[in-house]
Amino acid sequence: MTQQYQHMPSREQLVQAILDRLEADADRAQAAFQASAGEVGVRYVAIDDLLPQEWARQVSEAFPAPQSMRLMDSFRERKYTTKDFDRFSPLMADITFAVQDPRVVAVVERITGIQDQQPDAQLYAGGLSAMVQGHFLGPHIDNSHEASRQRYRTLNLLYYVSPDWSHEKGGNLELWDRRVRTRTTIVSRFNRLALMETTPTSWHSVSPVVANEVRRCVSNYYFSPTSPTGTPYFNVTSFSAWPHQPFKRLLASLDGHLRQGLRKLVPQGLGRKDVYEGTRK
C-alpha cells in the first residue's frame, strides 16, 4: 500500500456508505435504468462516487498486484482475476461482500425493478479483476446460471477503483445490441458502480486497455430462481468479437456451439470450479 491511512472503514461502514449513496440517487438511477433499454436493449445505470473518496482510494491502493493474481489468457479474454481474499488486505473482502449485504440488495432491487435477487456468496463469477496494457474482454453473453444451475444470473455489479481513469485509456465497459454491431460505452471511471442486467442477449465487452496503467474492478453478480425472460433457458458463456474481426467472430461462434453442446453432455462441466470457499464474515 503506497499510502497509510489512520482509519480503514469496517464492512458495516462500507455498507452504510453504499446505502446512503444508492438511496440518494435511487429515483434518478431507477429512471435511467428503465430508459436505457432503448439504446442497445441492455438496461444499465452508472452510479458515481459510491464511497467517500478517501475510502475509494484505500480500496484502490489495497488492491492486489496483477502478478499475484491468476492470468486468464485466450482469444476470448486477457485479464488477471482472484477471489483468494485470505492473501490480501481484509478491505478487499469487505468491499466485495458489502455489495452483497441484504440491505444493499433491497435498494438495488428497487432501482432495477428486478425482484427476488440473491447475491453469490461463493463468487461463482465474481471477485477481483485487474487489466494491464493490452488486456481485454471480448464481446460475450454471460453464462445463464451459477454452479448449481438452480438460479439465473440477473445483474452484474461492477465497481471500478482505478484513480483518474478516462475513456481514452481503454478498458471501458461496452454494451451491444443483439447483433453486436451497435454499442454504448460506460467509462470505467474511478469510484463508479455500474449495474447491468443479464439476459440471454445482454452482449457486453471490455475494450482493450491502451494505457500503461492498471484497470481495477470489484465484481459481483446477483442471481434469482426466476428466469429474467419468464421462460426457462440455459447457456454457457458465449463469445463473439468486435465488428472489425469477422474471422474471430466465426471462431468464437464455433467455440460457443462446441462448449454449449459439451455442457449438454456433461452438465457439471469439465473445468475446475473457481469459487470462493472462505467465509464472508
pLDDT tens-digit map of 172-188 = 999 999 999 999 999 99
Rounded to an integer, what distance in angstroms lies between the CA atom of residue 137 and that of residue 143?
Answer: 15
pLDDT at 228: 93
Mean per-residue pLDDT for 201-220?
A: 98
Spatial separation of the C-alpha atoms in residues 66 and 214, rounded to whole Å = 8
| CATH class of the domain whose range is 11-231 | mainly beta
Please tell me the least confidently modeled range out of 115-119, 120-124, 193-197.
Answer: 120-124
C-alpha neighbours within 13 Å on the C-beta side of residue 56: 21
Q: pLDDT at position 175, please?
A: 98
For the stretch 67-118, pLDDT in tens is 999 999 999 999 999 999 999 999 999 999 999 999 999 999 999 999 999 9
Cell numbers of 91, please?
478491505
Report the pLDDT value the prediction gives residue 147, as an integer from 0 to 100: 84
Report the phi/psi class of residue 149: left, alpha or beta, with left for phi > 0 and alpha for psi in -120 to 50.
Answer: left
Mean pLDDT score of the chain, rounded to an integer? 92
Cα separation, 45 vs 195, whole angstroms: 5
pLDDT score at 264: 67
When comparing pLDDT for 4 and 68, which is higher?
68
Spatial separation of the C-alpha atoms in residues 189 and 34, rounded to whole Å: 22
pLDDT at 55: 98
Task: Say yes or no to pLDDT of 3 above 80.
Answer: no
User: In the prediction, which pLDDT does 89 show?
Assistant: 96
Alpha carbon dihedral 213, 161, 218, 61, in 10-degree steps, equals 80
pLDDT, position 125:
84
Quote the DSSP letter at residue 65. Answer: P
Residue appearing with cell numbers 442497445: 40
Residues 118-127 have a mean pLDDT of 92
Residue 252 pLDDT: 87
User: What's the confidence (pLDDT) of residue 269?
Assistant: 55
pLDDT at position 35: 96
Q: pLDDT-based confidence at 4, cuts 50/70/90?
A: very low
| Portion of the chain with pLDDT greater than 70, in percent | 91
Residue 2: pLDDT above 60?
A: no
Q: How confident is the model at residue 6 (pLDDT cuts 50, 70, 90)?
A: low
Residue 5: its pLDDT value, please? Answer: 45
pLDDT at 1 over 50: no
Residue 80: which of 97, 94, 93, 67 has the closest Cα? 67
Q: What is the pLDDT of residue 168?
A: 98
Question: CA-to-CA distance for 247 and 237, rounded, in angstroms?
Answer: 19
Residue 271 pLDDT: 57
Instruction: Please give the pLDDT value at position 265.
Output: 67
